[in-house]
Amino acid sequence: MNLPAELDELFSAARHGGLAWRTLLKPGDWLLLALALAAVAASYPLLWRGGSADRAIVKRDGAVLIELALNAPRKVEVMGALGPTLIEIAPGRARVLADPGPRQYCVQQGWLTRANAVAICAPSHITLQLSGPQSSYDSLNY
């Protein structure tokens, strides 16, 4: 088979064994390789941490009613447009336990666990939102 000169050159180098791989790395190569490895390893926790939430924010008509830390279980009642809405907090998660709204969408949503997750009780004008260690964009506000 006739290969182009360049590819033939590639394959002939491979066929003839060549040099030991480790002799091809210079000191700076090792240094850069180590730096790159460290940077890649660091990028995982840095960029994939966003999931966990540490605070729940309850708003009525966009104004913050109360901010709750997600570190101990508790239940909080806030007053919405239709009456009291019950928020339940557990370590790392939160939910709307009861709401006087007719369709109960925010209650049926269940536990919120991720940062920037939102449950909206529209008839009551109440929103429950989780927030993470660093604020990032969510699909509602961005």
Determine if 39 is a binding residue for other proteins (CB under 8 A).
Answer: yes
How many C-beta neighbours within 10 Å does residue 59 have?
18
Question: How far are the Cα atoms of 30, 76, 80, 94 from residue 121, in angstroms, in the given order?
Answer: 57, 15, 9, 14
* Binding segment toward other proteins, per CB under 8 A, in 34-42, 59-67, 77-85, 94-102: 34-42
Token look-up 């605070």 returns 55
* Binding segment toward other proteins, per CB under 8 A, in 23-31, 66-74, 83-91, 122-130: 23-31
C-alpha–C-alpha distance, residues 7 and 60, integer Å: 68
C-alpha–C-alpha distance, residues 130 and 9, integer Å: 59
Task: State both tokens at 87.
Answer: 């928020």
Alpha carbon distance, N-terminus to C-terminus of the chain: 58
Binding-residue total with other proteins (CB under 8 A): 33
* Binding segment toward other proteins, per CB under 8 A, in 32-40, 85-93, 96-104, 122-130: 32-40
Determine if 114 is a binding residue for other proteins (CB under 8 A).
Answer: no
Q: Which is nearer to other proteins, 12 or 71 (CB)?
A: 12
Determine if 136 is a binding residue for other proteins (CB under 8 A).
Answer: yes
Contact positions vs other proteins (CB under 8 A): 4-10, 12-13, 16, 18-19, 21, 24-29, 32-33, 36-37, 39-40, 43-44, 47-48, 50, 136-137, 142
